[in-house]
Amino acid sequence: MFVRWLIYPLLLVVVGVFATAILVAFAAAMIWPTLPSLETLADYRPKIPLRVYSADEKLIGEFGEERRSFVAIKDVPKTLVDAILAAEDERYFRHKGVDYVGIGRAALANLSSAGVRQGASTITMQVARNFFLSREKTLNRKINEILLAFKIEASLSKQQILELYVNQIYLGQRAYGFASAARIYYGRPLDRLTLAETAMLAGLPKAPSSFNPVANPARAKLRQQYVLRRMREMNLISAEQQSEADQQQLVIKNELNEFATRAEYVAEMVRQAMYERYREDAYAMGLRVYTTLQIDHQNAANAALRAGLLAYDRRHGYRGAEAFVELRPGASEEALEEALQNYPDSEDIRAAVVTEASPRRVTAYRRGGEYVEITDAGLRFAARFLLDSANPNQRIRRGAIIRVQRADDKRWHITQIPAVEGALVSADPRDGAIRALAGGFDFAQSQYNHVTQALRQPGSSFKPFVYSAALEKGFTAASIINDEPLQFSAAQTGGKRWEPKNYDGTYDGPMTMRQALARSKNLVSVRLIQAISPRYAQDYVTRFGFDAKQHPPYLTMALGAGSATPLQLTAGYSVFANGGFRVKPYFIQRIVDGRGTVLFEQPNVRAGINAERAIDERNAYVMTSMMRDVVRHGTATAAMSLGRGDLAGKTGTTNDFLDAWFGGFNANLVAVAWVGFDQPKSLGRHETGGNVALPIWIRYMRVALKGAPETPLQAPKGVVNAGGEVYMQEFAPRGNDNNANDTAAAESAPRAPAPAAPEAARNQLF
């Protein structure tokens, strides 16, 4: 009787198991043909983002929804493989896709805890899920996952599957794959991680959000300790290694966009160019774009532009609180953080919300939980806005959004983001490679790229192109031109009656062209363009890359009344710097795809080799000589503080002080600085190109040319020296026995403030 009662249950169990097996087999037979193809695994192409690099291969930008870096399994450190297996699948190399021992262990653990506490997904099952399945928790999905695991194991080797896992798994912070996570969390490649750092990463796949060391450092530490403990239990590390790793203080990167330099404007130029060529694929095909930017040049350009704009802004005073928010008494930290949500920091200029304010002390909350106290000198810039008599819409009081900055004295000071904008760009005049490009004060504040997009009046910085046209027509640097008032009727100008004036309102009578350029005499430029004709000047400036439509053929062209961008001016000055050749500025050196295939490489076009000639090399020489005098004796003498004799350039200031420019160069580098308001308005009287733009240029060049030897100005054939002046041979004074290349003394000797003009040039007085 007892045996019978024992047999029946056992029989039922056997029948049940057999029936279940049949059902599972039937389900498998039905599902197997519908399983997805494994072609995507065999030809794995992860969505690797577009990455932008400097010329020295430092990362400066990245675009794509997913942050990935592919690493071959042979290049994955053994320590990482050990940590992954200890954390996720210790029997990986002993099972065929499904770990029955692990399933049994997980089932017992879950039964004993009366709930689901452990899973039993193998690495192969995780690969199946990540590539082909949703994350819904249903029986059908689990059966598909198991069957796919079998199929994957039958098709790929263990090393291939592990490579897929290492590169595909999500690890938080938009990082997919361990190579990307290593860079994002630690700023280093996989092979430079410590055991402690490796164990932290290996603990992430189970729950990337919960164990994220940025968001949840305490839970991440517990998970790391679990991984280390499992590695010790499996004899993969020693007790000493476990202890040492456990005690190591990890430094996690909190800033997700740490690049080698701030080059957002260039990175965006690259993104736009790649999107035009590859559309949406540009963000997923692993393109690596190597630009012409040099890190030290870009850092110098950023620093110079910010310093120049901040100096201008400080000269014009504090404008008052940036905005106001309502702060209830005893406002929580969450409320203070919310108040700052729409006011991003600008590098070291931090947004802060005022919690207490008086004429002698301001307390403000800064993003991240820090309260800063500002007193004494730190209040001086905004002192009058702390008084009760200040305009309520500007006064610094509780709830005011202000900007603070830690000064050299380590104390906090009230400051502000400049309302004025600016740009700085530099390029190698020999081939056009852009070395630095700062398109504005802060890309986060404004994505408008003033280097490439801001068409502004170039003012006197355009005069060298008019002078060059005059040289082509037979004028010389010694030609005498009258600096006296002129008046033009509306019929002559094609518009309004016009009476041009010099900047300072004074007139100095007859002077040489060399003198006139150095002193930026407007009336001389107008007389020159009268003599050569505006139509000829308009056609001539196109040789430098300017668009004729932007420079109408009127007399006002003499004063730079057309429109040009800083990049166009850089290209134009490059013609003078390189001996008369036209080179197009470029910023992309080469494009490489995810497999290392070079898709594009910039053609090697160089001045003097295969570049198009724009102007006579003698014209370029004479103009460079004249523009060196602008630096030595004229409106840009401040540049002599660099202690170099090979610099040439021209200042530029437009009517009503709307724009301030300086463009300058030597034989190896051209740089142009511009300052102005986006909605044009006066920068203020005396805020000229020499006072506003030139200091930015000088600060950049001090770094860019540090250690670079001077480049002497070599005279080409057909240039003669007569009476201390240089001429193109056919326009030299008659009756002089001139040596056609004896110009070294003329170029290096100091010139008198008013050099005498040769007799032939005196006849050109008008």
- List active site positions: 88, 460
Measured N-to-C along each axis, helices 617-633 and 566-577 cross at an angle, to the nearest 10 degrees, of 110
Per the CB < 8 A criterion, the answer to whether 654 and 560 are in contact is yes
Cα-to-chain-centroid distance, residue 724: 47
Per the CB < 8 A criterion, the answer to whether 68 and 180 are in contact is yes
Phi-psi region of 254 (alpha: psi -120 to 50; beta: other; left: phi over 0): alpha
| Tokens linked to 671 | 């740089």
| Tokens linked to 201 | 């990463």
Per the CB < 8 A criterion, the answer to whether 298 and 436 are in contact is yes
- Characterize the bridge pairing of strands 350-358 and 480-483: unpaired
Rounded distance, CA 692 to CA 669, Å? Answer: 21
Q: Which residue has the tokens 């700023």?
A: 187
Q: Which DSSP helix (H) or strand (E) runs through 147?
A: helix 139-155
Rounded distance, CA 763 to CA 557, Å? Answer: 25
Rounded distance, CA 545 to CA 619, Å? Answer: 17
DSSP state letter for 292: S
Name 423's Cβ contacts closer than 8 Å, sequence gap at least 6: 305, 438, 439, 440, 449, 450, 451, 454, 566, 672, 673, 674
| Tokens linked to 591 | 């494009």
Give me the torsion for CA of 21, 24, 30, 33, rounded to 10°. Answer: -100
Closest CA to 127 of 148, 108, 96: 148
Rounded distance, CA 525 to CA 557, Å? Answer: 9
Measured N-to-C along each axis, helices 139-155 and 123-132 cross at an angle, to the nearest 10 degrees, of 110
AA identity, residue 376: D
Cα-to-chain-centroid distance, residue 111: 56
CB neighbours (10 Å) of residue 110?
15
Cα-to-chain-centroid distance, residue 72: 30
Rounded distance, CA 435 to CA 586, Å? Answer: 10
